[in-house]
Amino acid sequence: MKIFLDTADIDQITSLMPSQMVDGVTTNPSLIAKSGRDIKQTIAEICTIVPGPVSAEVTATDLATMRKEADVLSAIADNVAVKVPLTPDGLQLCAELSAQGIMVNVTLCFTAGQALLAAKAGARFISPFVGRLDDLGQDGMGLISDIVDIYSNYDFATEVLVASVRSTQHVTDAAIMGADVVTIPPAILGQLYKHPLTDKGLDAFLADWQKTGQSIL
């Protein structure tokens, strides 16, 4: 399963790239606003750091303006995935861009039916928001399971990109279910490394090693 960083923070992205754990980046208008930077400059810089897909979202809601914004965003770099909302106009634009060979990430997916439409429109990625469904008492990861099954039934090429991830358990569950991608904040990536028994075991090994008086170097 691929791991994308869900952030527009250049410093965080740069610091995590050497880990070889990061396969791409997703951004959205909220993350761009939080960064306080120009969207085009930010996306361009991220694309020079990250060789994988970098999602950049249109902000318009009507088809004509979304087309113009998509032209601007897709021209920034070859690895830009234009992010569009799961609306009739968004899916029409998805079909148009996909026919041109441009990667499209269809976002704000909350039902398997919506995911089916996005796949038929040729989306490269579908972004179901599991955390937001969980917040409403619904089964966010159940949606991922349903989408994975549907896509498998019909050999759709669209990749399931699990979004709105709130915990490491979401990441593990997504991998078990066979999701293609999970996009996570840098903090959750850091949490994936951690377990108290790992820390305890390392402390014990180091204590025993010190007793030997040896040095590998």
Residue ranges of the alpha helices (H) in the chain?
A: 10-16, 29-35, 39-49, 63-74, 88-99, 112-120, 130-135, 140-154, 168-177, 186-192, 196-212
Residues 6+ away with beta carbon under 8 Å from 10: 35, 42, 45, 46, 49
Give helix 39-49 / helix 63-74 axis angle, nearest 10°.
40
Identity of residue 90: G
Instruction: Name the active-site residue from 83, 120, 194, 200.
Output: 83
Q: Is 83 a catalytic residue?
A: yes
Active site residues: 83
